Structure 1
Amino acid sequence: MSKPAAISTAEWQARCDLAALYRLIAYYRMTDLIDTHITLRVPGPEHHFLINRYGVAFEKMKASDLVLIDLDGNVVDGVYGHGRVNAAGFVIHSAIHQARDDMHCIVHTHTAAGMAVAAQRDGLLPLTQHALKFYGNLAYHTYEGIALSLDERVRLVNDLGTHKAMILRNHGLLAGGESVAHAFHEIYFLERACQAQIQAMSAGVALNYPSEEVCRHTAEQFSRDGIDGIIDLAWTAALSLIEEQRDDWCS
């Protein structure tokens, strides 16, 4: 499908990128029926962002299924109509988009492993290389019920601080970055770290923890300059897994 005349090139590219990310989240089995959300800020001064039309399966998400809203939750998309937007998704994502200019894309999931770690008092443990990516770089937010209150936005942003990943206690995972590639990389590593933790703990044997020095060293390795190239390579490789769907997601 060609770009509608009423939509800017920048917005259409954002729509295609976000639709692809929704499908990759489904490919990696990180969905929860029609719940959870991924959002992407559209370039421009308005601070508008795209979110899924509530009720569309992630596996079938298209550029035209995404709804453009402002930071107050108002639908500003005049091309595809007023699709329904989940209130809890708006509360969580709008808070971060408003507070963090470096978090253009935000992913929130309810996976079994993510929820399991979110229910554990000690949260993510430094058991694996994947987990050490987040050592000293992971936030936590206390569960307050379904995120429908605008008041919670302040506390959520305060808890996130300068981090790009957060465990929502008794709830799930949240991660983001300046692009869909970065956001995908963050949520993929966080999800895999949670999966490994739950499997390691289920074995019923003593766990081996790296030293504090090694934990800090590994976290620094992940944050060094040059990781961006790896992130972009990983995104391109992931897209190749659903390449045959490209004409459909960008429609």
Structure 2
Amino acid sequence: MHIPSLKERVSADEWKLRCDLAACYRLVALHGWTDLVFTHISARLPGPDHYFLINAYGLLFEEITASSLVLVDQAGNNLRDTPFPVNRAGFVIHSAIHAAREDVQCALHTHTRAGIAVSAQKSGVLPISQQSTFVLSSLGYHDYEGVAIRDDEKPRLQTDLGRANCLMLRNHGLLTVGSSIPDAFLWMYLFETACQIQIAAQAGGELTTFDPEIQESNAEALRTQTDGQGGAFVWPALLRKLDRMDSSYKS
């Protein structure tokens, strides 16, 4: 599929954001976190209008490019000439987050088997793995209300997310936010991994849990492990991996 390049038609800052967001879509596909075309990742452009980029509905994540991403406003209007529509559920969820959280640049939503499986468990994320310590330190829960196509769900999404970086959408999937695209990706890596470990551990017998005090100290541990950079610490290595495989996300 040929998609004309927008590189010369947008600012350098917007192009950089587009390339990073397209890379994030490719990385999600690479890690097997996709659900055909039915999930979404958004990135907010700087400025007071809360415009954000989101995937062109109908493209697989492995097909997403910087130029295929759709720029929309808070009313869902397409702000660039493109033949692609936007997923209504994706717009409702992401517009709610970007309207409420000025600190959030990126929001990432998945429908993985492990994520949905844990979201269907009454106890949610259990304190049984190192990955879960990070997630539990910044986790909210949102009850299932059906496919998220109604604007009246937005206030409840915003309240349930609060100031957290991870939101478990009950019976639905996982959502993470970050002050950058790399941060949102790293939070999803931890969230998804914690869920995969939990499902595997529950199949193996009685579980052991860790002392809650460990969880309270792990925010500092995460900063130490990433040299204070958060997702930016691993992002260059991830981009190098993508570039070795297929650099077309930058087109």
- TM-score in terms of structure 1 length: 0.93
Identity of matched residues, %: 45
User: Once superposed, which parts of structure 1, at least 4 consecutive aligned residues long, lie more than 4 Å away?
Assistant: 223-227
Q: Secondary structure at the match of 1:134?
A: helix
Match of 1:43 among 30, 41, 46: 46
Per the alignment, in what secondary structure is the counterpart of residue 173 of structure 1?
A: strand
Q: State the alpha-carbon separation in 1 of the partners of residues 120 and 53 from structure 2.
A: 30
Q: Which residue in the other structure is 2:213 paired with?
A: 213
Aligned partners of 1:200, 1:225: CA distance in 2, in Å? 25
Q: State the shift of 1:225 in Å.
A: 10
Partners of 1:40 and 1:106 within 8 A in 2: yes
Amino acid at match of 1:214: I
Task: Tell me the secondary structure at the aligned position of residue 50 of structure 1.
Answer: strand
Classify 1:169/1:7 alpha carbon distance in 2 versus 1 (closer, same or farther; 3 Å).
Answer: same
* Structure 1 residue identity aligned to 2:59: V
The RMSD of aligned alpha carbons is 1.8
Structure 2 distance, partners of 1:190, 1:99, is: 22
CA contact (8 A) 2:28 2:34 kept: yes
- For 1:32, what is the secondary structure of its paired residue? coil
- Alignment counterpart, residue 14 of structure 1, candidates 12, 17, 34: 17
More deviation, 232-241/25-34? 232-241
- The alpha-carbon distance between structure 1 residues 123 and 40, as it changes in their structure 2 partners (threshold 3 A), is same
Pair 1:64–1:159, CA change in 2 (3 A): same
Q: Per the alignment, in what secondary structure is the counterpart of residue 207 of structure 1?
A: coil
Matched residue SS, 1:64 = coil
Partner amino acid, structure 1, of 2:213: E
- Residues 91-100 or 217-226, more deviating: 217-226
Which residue of structure 1 lines up, in the alignment, with residue 131 of structure 2? 130
Mapped to 1, the partners of 2:195 and 2:225 lie a distance apart of 26
Q: Does the residue aligned with 2:67 lie in a helix, a strand or coil? A: helix
Aligned runs of 1:1-251 on 2, under 5 Å?
A: 4-78=7-81, 81-203=82-204, 205-222=205-222, 227-244=227-244, 247-251=247-251
Cα distance between partner residues in 1 of 2:163 and 2:237: 29
Q: Give 1:181's aligned amino acid.
A: P
Write the distance in 2 (CA, Å) between the matches of 1:173 and 1:132: 16
SS of equivalent to 1:167: strand
Query: Deviation at 1:242?
Result: 1.1
Aligned residues of 1:67 and 1:82 also touching (Cα < 8 A): no
Contact 1:18 1:180 in 2 (8 A): yes
How far apart are the structure 2 equivalents of 1:186 and 1:30?
A: 14
Task: Assess if the C-alpha contact under 8 Å between 1:134 and 1:219 holds in 2.
Answer: no
Structure 2: give runs of 5+ residues left out of the alignment.
none
Give the TM-score taking structure 2 as reference length: 0.93
Tell me how many residue pairs correspond in the alignment. 248
- Measured after TM superposition, the shift of residue 6 of structure 1 is 2.5
1:216 Cα deviation after fit: 2.1
